[in-house]
Amino acid sequence: MTSRLRNERLREISLKNKEKDKMKEREKEAKERETRVANGHLFNCITVSGNTLCYVCNKSIITREAFICTTCSVTIHKTCKDALPSCIKVKQKQLKAAQARNSSALHNVAFRTKVPGSRERPSSAVFASDSGRQTPLFPQLGSRRGRTPFHSLSKSVSTNNIGNLNDDTPFRRILSQSTDSLNMRNRTLSVESLIDEGASSVYTQLMGDLETDEKDFAADSWSLAVDSSFLQTQRKDVIKRQDVIYELIQTEVHHVRTLKIMSEIFRKGMLEDLQMDPLTVQTLFPSLDELVSLHVHFLSELLTRRKHSLQPGSTNNFVIQRLGDLLVNQFSGTSGEEMRRAYTEFCSRHTKAVKLYKELFTRDKRFQQFVRRMTRSSVLRRHGVQECILLVTQRITKYPVILTRLLHITKANDQDQEDLARALTLVKELITRVDQDVHDSEKRSRLQEICSRFDSRSLTIMHSGREFRREDLLCRKLVHDGFVLWKNATGRFKDIQVLLLTDVLVFLQEKDQRYSFPGLDSKPAVLSLQKLIARDIANQEKGMFLISAAAPTPEMYEIHTGSREDRNTWIRLIEQCSRVCPKMEDFSKEMETKAMLSELKDEMEQRDR
């Protein structure tokens, strides 16, 4: 009996505890529902990784749970919700609702007077880009006569398509969370006001000179841009040729638009609104003025040719008979040399510009807010800073593709065929020269980096008895470098850094992030390429012998690379450099001094930029 009463009592206590737990859970859920609504945001709890940044304080979200707004998709710490500004999406919905109420009468009149069956969209419409089409930067232009919607043939690249630009781990923040939260809103107020009051109007004002050009090239192709009656009078080969010419001009319009965005929106905003250092902005956008000038002039020539090709009494029907002369002028002579310098400068500094952008975006909150709010605008959704840099870098490689197609559909007896062939050769040579200049610039920077980390006290003695120091590296050009394994006399392997220069092969060792000449069983760490032989090792796909016959007694080095391809590359480059390398005597002290002064001058100019 006692046992039964005790069990019933325990059961009652257990039921009461369960009821209390349920009440606590209901109260907790009610409290969470209250906390998940703030400043128009509707928050949900999510589990995030350690690389996710809080939108408010810009710190990594270390805790497993965070808040995400289901309306505007911002992610924050739970403790940062009170510091988050009002939800932009809610503001936009309220603004659109008010505009709709105020202009309902005007819209009714417009729709009543519309031609039946027409599918033209209203000028205020904004279309999403999830179906693969590009959002128009001038939505008010619409599409010509209700035909196909606006598509970009310039292949604008979205952030998702840029593979390795967003892979770096964000830097740790220095300031405390409370300081960030207090200072954030005051420091970004002017930028918020600028964008919230209408990035579209700012964009339209700055890009007004391109509005007419955008309208003339809003259709997908020439076939859709001209009148149907005019199109039916043209031969098929003419239509194909005009479609390619139209694409060339259209993509040039888009390229100039990208350059204008970089110049008039991002760069101007950084200098005037953020008061950034001009040298820092110049590093982000190198040779931008030169590129704008070159391509604005080229586009002007193309549009003038289109204007002169218009049919009498028409504003959209045209047939361009000749274009090769303009292309030859653009890619040759002074213009071609200016394009080479501008693109070499821009492309060679691409990596540095992207790296600096990431650093600024990580540590500078005003810069981060400026970029986020600019790119949040519908007109700049596909034209962020990184996207613009990549688009400009890729532009020069698009010309051969279009010119090859244009040349293919141009008749052999056409007066334009010879100029098109020459223009294609010129642009290919231009790309080759730019690629080589960028390659040389990268190798020069790499050699300067190695020299900056070189132990100034380290030296080695060559076979000729000459001393070789760090300064001797600067008067030469780096051809190739990499890590290999050197096998010593006892059969043990040692990690070695190898530099292939214009006339010597240099072995280095790295310790505590400093370079020095290694001891190689009393063998020289610098080999002259004169009489240097590179041979693969039988039955070893990664091994090779380096045999130096410059000394009275030949020296042999056994080297092993990471792969067969690496070994073959080393052998091929060593053989190539050995055939054309200058003699060691050609590198006199006077030449070394001149080379050092030239390198120092280049470095100072780079810093000034």
CATH number at residue 275: 1.20.900.10
Q: Which is higher by pLDDT, 484 or 60?
A: 484
Output the six-digit token pair for 63. 């805790």
| Of residues 425, 408, 439, 405, the one with CA closest to residue 331 | 425
pLDDT band at 184 (very low <50, low <70, confident <90, very high): very low
pLDDT at 192 over 70: no
pLDDT band at 594 (very low <50, low <70, confident <90, very high): low
Q: Are residues 424 and 464 in the same domain?
A: no
Residue 361, in any domain of the structure: yes
Query: In the 8-state DSSP scheme, what is residue 65?
Result: E
Q: Are residues 232 and 315 in the same domain?
A: yes
Residue 362, in any domain of the structure: yes
Residue 122, in any domain of the structure: no
Q: Are residues 258 and 214 in the same domain?
A: yes
Residue 202, in any domain of the structure: no
Domain boundary among 383, 418, 445: 445
- Phi, psi torsion values for 392, nearest 5 degrees: -65, -40
E strand residue ranges, 383-537: 460-461, 467-468, 478-487, 493-501, 504-511, 514-516, 526-528, 532-537
Strand bridging mode 540-548 / 526-528? unpaired
Supply the pLDDT for residue 167.
40
Supply the pLDDT for residue 411.
84
Alpha-carbon span 238 to 228, nearest angstrom: 15
Q: Which is higher by pLDDT, 561 or 474?
A: 561
User: Which residue type, as a one-letter code, is found at position 577?
Assistant: C
What spatial distance separates the first Cα and last Cα of the chain, rounded to whole Å? 95
pLDDT band at 288 (very low <50, low <70, confident <90, very high): very high
Q: Are residues 248 and 381 in the same domain?
A: yes
Q: Are residues 423 and 310 in the same domain?
A: yes
Output the six-digit token pair for 269. 């905003």
- Give whole-number Cα distances, 242 to 250, 319, 320, in Å: 12, 7, 7
Alpha-carbon span 202 to 200, nearest angstrom: 5
Supply the pLDDT for residue 107.
44
Cβ proximity of 322 and 245 under 8 Å? no
Residue 352, in any domain of the structure: yes
User: Which residue type, as a one-letter code, is found at position 553?
Assistant: T
Cβ proximity of 581 and 505 under 8 Å? no
Q: Are residues 520 and 375 in the same domain?
A: no
Residue 212, in any domain of the structure: yes
Q: Are residues 550 and 590 in the same domain?
A: yes
CATH number at residue 485: 2.30.29.30
Q: Are residues 331 and 469 in the same domain?
A: no
Global pTM reads 0.61
Alpha-carbon span 445 to 478, nearest angstrom: 10
SS3 557: strand
Q: Are residues 424 and 493 in the same domain?
A: no
Q: Are residues 433 and 545 in the same domain?
A: no
Domain boundary among 68, 90, 112: 90
Q: Are residues 549 and 504 in the same domain?
A: yes
Supply the pLDDT for residue 13.
65
Residue 376, in any domain of the structure: yes
Structural domain that includes position 357: 208-445
Domain boundary among 410, 445, 480: 445
pLDDT band at 116 (very low <50, low <70, confident <90, very high): very low
CATH number at residue 61: 3.30.60.20
Give the number of domains in the chain.
3
pLDDT at 425 over 80: yes
Q: Are residues 236 and 345 in the same domain?
A: yes
Residue 275, in any domain of the structure: yes
Supply the pLDDT for residue 454.
87
When the pLDDT of each residue in the chain is averaged and rounded to a whole number, the result is 76
Cβ proximity of 245 and 222 under 8 Å? yes
